[in-house]
Chains A and B, each alone.
Chain A
Amino acid sequence: MLTYIFKKLSTASLFIFTLLATNSFAAQPLEIMVEPAYSITWQLDERWRFIGQLKMRQLVEGNDESGFETSVTDRFEFQIFANYTLLGSRRIGLGYVYRLLDPFSDNPGHYHRIVQQYSTTWSAENTRIGLRLRAEQLFREDDFQQRYRARINAEIPVRGVRLEPGHPYLLFSNELLFKPDADFSSWDNRLDAGIGWVLPNNRRFQIQLQHRYEEFNLDSRSHIIQLMTTFLMNI
């Protein structure tokens, strides 16, 4: 029953996603981004695992002089996380993120982020559902920011009850982000829908389309469509 509901929600999310994207495009300029990522997980034992991730983001933007759209590498990102597993599929984690902004410009920027994470998963019939809570501290040269994130995501096998190599699965997630500020606290929402494949030797490949509704409580709200591809492997 729950798998049925989640499948319907996944379909609905694609519809909502299209609606949001269309509406946002009509309302104000829409940013489109592409972000490939490579993730590697090393399981030390049944409790500890370490995750490293490399990402690169391409931004499609207009070129005022030529009038043609060009793609620009927006950022490179490196993440490393340490996760400790508690009983009952619950995990706590600590991570570090380094982000290099506008790497090919004359003045690239960068910042560091420390992340604390609690996550848990459970199964509802065929569907696996994950809940992830994060607190992040962002350190720039002359700035500090705190951010909180809550994400719920679901993974639904398409061809069997369990995921096996060669089987595809549907992905659906929604994340709420909150950035407290003395003057302007802001909220973001990120809605994802996508598809993934389980590959042999504990590897996966995922393609997701993400709609970001940034600072939707403020006048500076914006819409971003992001295509994300992720290759995950375990060692």
Chain B
Amino acid sequence: MHCKQINNNRQLRNKFIYLCGSQYQILIMESVFLCKFLELFSTKRFACAHRIRPKSFLSLTLFLLLFFGSLGLFAQPNGKTEHELRINRNEMPVKILEELADFLEEARRIRYFREFDGTSYFWEVKFIYEGRHFSVKFNQDYSLYDIEFLTHWRLAEREVRQPLISYFEQNYRRFRIKRLQFTFLPQPGISQPDFFERILDDALPPPQFYEVEAEVISSITGTMGFYEFRFDTHFNLVEKRIIIPVSDVNLHF
């Protein structure tokens, strides 16, 4: 049953409460807890519609108001907005799995994701191959978008660290680099299988971009921020995006 059908049916509307957008499918069950339990481990988004008697609903509302306060709505500031959802192997396109088959045989910690970057959808496969962390991203039409190699900042070569440190020292009062990533874009004239072999099997060539996530303190204003910096092969800054970190108050408090 679709959300709109529930909405249009006045009798159902009076009896059911639900949380859903128009794109969600509704699963009608008697047990709220079983429904929520299934939703937790499901890879598909769905909402649970359950029957609540008006008296119970009122007491539930009062309980929520008493213990959890009013629900203020505050908009989140704009920043780097990417949404990533982990999916199962059988939800990945077969074409992508076939292209990576040779590498996935020997890889470990293989994970599959569906990603939305604000404008487009991507398929992503992350794995550890020969001790190195790779992320291979494909467009919606299954063409290769990029390959990312994630490394620990302290393990990067001096030839990479030195120019980046120089940049941050020149432009910021203090900085702390949290993450370093090499981005390899597909090369024209090189087939995808050859490209995979060149990046994953052979010694890593110089990447097209270096991406750095760092906390910085501005030398002018003294304000602190968390940004993603993108540098080209000559370590010139190409792009800088603010990162809105997920709230970690439950870890600190």
Residues of A bordering B, CB below 8 Å: 1, 4, 36, 38-41, 45-47, 49, 51, 53, 56, 81, 83, 85, 87-89, 91, 93, 119, 121, 123, 128-130, 132, 153, 155, 158-164, 166, 168, 171, 195-196, 198, 201-204, 206, 230-235
Contact of A130 among B45, B113, B248 (CB under 8 A): B248
Do B84 and A164 touch across chains, with their CB atoms under 8 A apart?
A: yes
Closest chain B residue, CB of each to CB of A166: B45
CA distance A47 to B249 in the complex (A): 13
Decide: A88 near B215, CB < 8 A? Known: A39-B253, A164-B84: yes
Q: Does B247 contact A (CB under 8 A)?
A: yes
CA distance A58 to B86 in the complex (A): 38
Do A38 and B217 touch across chains, with their CB atoms under 8 A apart?
A: no
Do A1 and B109 touch across chains, with their CB atoms under 8 A apart?
A: yes
CA distance A163 to B224 in the complex (A): 23
Q: Does B119 contact A (CB under 8 A)?
A: no
Do B176 and A153 touch across chains, with their CB atoms under 8 A apart?
A: no
Further pairs besides A161-B86, A230-B250: 12, Cβ < 8 Å:
A1-B109, A40-B69, A46-B225, A87-B217, A119-B251, A121-B252, A159-B85, A161-B84, A161-B111, A171-B250, A196-B250, A201-B73
For the residues of B in contact with A, the DSSP-based class is mixed
Residues of B bordering A, CB below 8 Å: 40-41, 43, 45, 67-69, 71-76, 82-86, 109, 111, 113, 126, 128, 174-176, 178, 215, 217, 223-225, 246-253
For the residues of A in contact with B, the DSSP-based class is strand
Do B250 and A232 touch across chains, with their CB atoms under 8 A apart?
A: yes
Contact of A87 among B75, B76, B224 (CB under 8 A): B224
Q: What distance in Å separates the Cβ of A63 from its nearest Cβ neighbour in chain B?
A: 24
CA distance A202 to B250 in the complex (A): 12
Do B249 and A87 touch across chains, with their CB atoms under 8 A apart?
A: no
Q: What distance in Å separates the Cβ of B88 from its nearest Cβ neighbour in chain A?
A: 11
Closest chain A residue, CB of each to CB of B176: A88
Contacts of B73 in A (CB 8 A): 201
CA distance A153 to B224 in the complex (A): 25
Contact of A121 among B71, B111, B225, B251 (CB under 8 A): B251
Contacts of A83 in B (CB 8 A): 252-253
Do A235 and B250 touch across chains, with their CB atoms under 8 A apart?
A: no
Closest chain A residue, CB of each to CB of B248: A121
Q: What distance in Å separates the Cβ of B141 from its nearest Cβ neighbour in chain A?
A: 23
Decide: A87 near B84, CB < 8 A? Known: A38-B69, A51-B249: no
CA distance A45 to B222 in the complex (A): 12
Q: What distance in Å separates the Cβ of A78 from its nearest Cβ neighbour in chain B?
A: 13
CA distance A40 to B71 in the complex (A): 11
Closest chain B residue, CB of each to CB of A173: B251
Do A202 and B247 touch across chains, with their CB atoms under 8 A apart?
A: yes
Contact of A160 among B69, B71, B84 (CB under 8 A): B84
CA distance A164 to B86 in the complex (A): 12
Instruction: Give 16 A-B contacts (CB < 8 Å), ordered by A residue.
Output: A4-B109, A36-B68, A40-B69, A49-B249, A53-B253, A87-B217, A88-B176, A128-B251, A159-B43, A159-B86, A163-B246, A195-B40, A202-B76, A202-B247, A231-B69, A234-B247
Decide: A51 near B253, CB < 8 A? Known: A88-B176, A161-B113, A164-B84: yes
CA distance A198 to B85 in the complex (A): 14
Decide: A87 near B215, CB < 8 A? Known: A158-B40, A162-B84, A231-B68: yes
Contacts of B43 in A (CB 8 A): 159
Which 10 A-B pairs have CB atoms at the shortest separation, nearest pair first? A130-B251, A119-B252, A231-B68, A160-B84, A88-B176, A46-B224, A163-B246, A36-B67, A41-B249, A121-B251
Q: What distance in Å separates the Cβ of A51 from its nearest Cβ neighbour in chain B?
A: 5
CA distance A125 to B210 in the complex (A): 19
Closest chain B residue, CB of each to CB of A158: B40
CA distance A119 to B249 in the complex (A): 10
Contacts of A53 in B (CB 8 A): 253
